Amino acid sequence: MSRISKIPVEDWDPELRTLAAADSATPLEQGLMRMMAHTPQMAKGLIAFSGALFQNRTLPRRLVELVRLRIAFHNQCRSCMAIRYRSAVDDGLTEGMVCSLEQPQDADNLSAAEKAALRYAEFSSVDHLAISDETFCDLRDHFSEGQIVELGLFVAFFIGFGRLGAAWDMIEDLPAAFQDKAAPLLAPWRQEAILVRG
């Protein structure tokens, strides 16, 4: 059971309900909004921010999803790990690539740009003070300054809200493997995943 009560969609602020397209979304797609509906004005702000990130991105959707899933592993956000977004799959994301996230720097099915982005995401997730000038030189081999800023915003978004999701323990809508509290450390690879819109 989630640690924060979920508000039924019919009780949401009407504008939030419309902005989140909640009536056509599955419970899993409604995600943290079911809890954030307790603070509708803040929830609307989050929708505006995440919408700006995703609608104005220049980074490939597949790369963004790989970064999200690697961060989800470090956050141990079970709902984050269980989800695959259709837009990323449509952009070429495969479960083979997700499995490569176990050892991304050794993967032959990830590009050099994806590996650089994943290295930056890894440092940001586990030891942000280890990020160095060399890290940014590596990123500049593959990305413009604007794309590096964009990547940083996605990384911050995924770390912050992934940790929030993990703390709120929203797991009841997930496949059984992700609900098992006895599992000490889960990963998005080699697990059943749920394809959602987005």
The percentage of the chain sitting over the pLDDT mark of 70, rounded to a whole number, equals: 100
> Would you say 170 and 164 are in contact if contact means Cβ atoms under 8 Å apart?
no
Residues 194 and 181: their CA atoms lie apart, in Å, by: 19
Dihedrals phi, psi of 83, to nearest 5 degrees: -100, 140
- The tokens for 44 are 């609307």
Average pLDDT over residues 121-131: 97
Q: What predicted TM-score, i.e. pTM, was given to this entire model?
A: 0.95
| pLDDT for the residue numbered 23 | 94
- The tokens for 98 are 């997700």
Return the DSSP state at 106: G
pLDDT in tens, 26-43: 998 999 999 999 999 999
Average pLDDT over residues 45-60: 97
Query: Could you count the other beta carbons within 10 Å of the beta carbon of residue 8?
Result: 8
Topology given in CATH for the domain delimited by 59-196:
AhpD-like (1.20.1290)
Residues 157 and 45: their CA atoms lie apart, in Å, by: 13
Helices 61-75, 112-126: crossing angle, 10 deg rounding: 30
The pLDDT confidence band at residue 181, using thresholds 50, 70 and 90, is confident
User: Considering the chain, what is the average pLDDT of its residues?
Assistant: 95
- Asked if residue 191 has pLDDT above 90, the reply is no
Q: Which residue has the tokens 């809508």?
A: 173
Letter for the amino acid at 21?
Answer: A
The pLDDT confidence band at residue 134, using thresholds 50, 70 and 90, is very high
The pLDDT confidence band at residue 192, using thresholds 50, 70 and 90, is confident
Residue ranges of alpha helices (H) inside 61-129 are 61-75, 78-82, 86-90, 95-100, 112-126
Average pLDDT over residues 40-66: 97
Domain boundaries, the chain: 1-56, 59-196
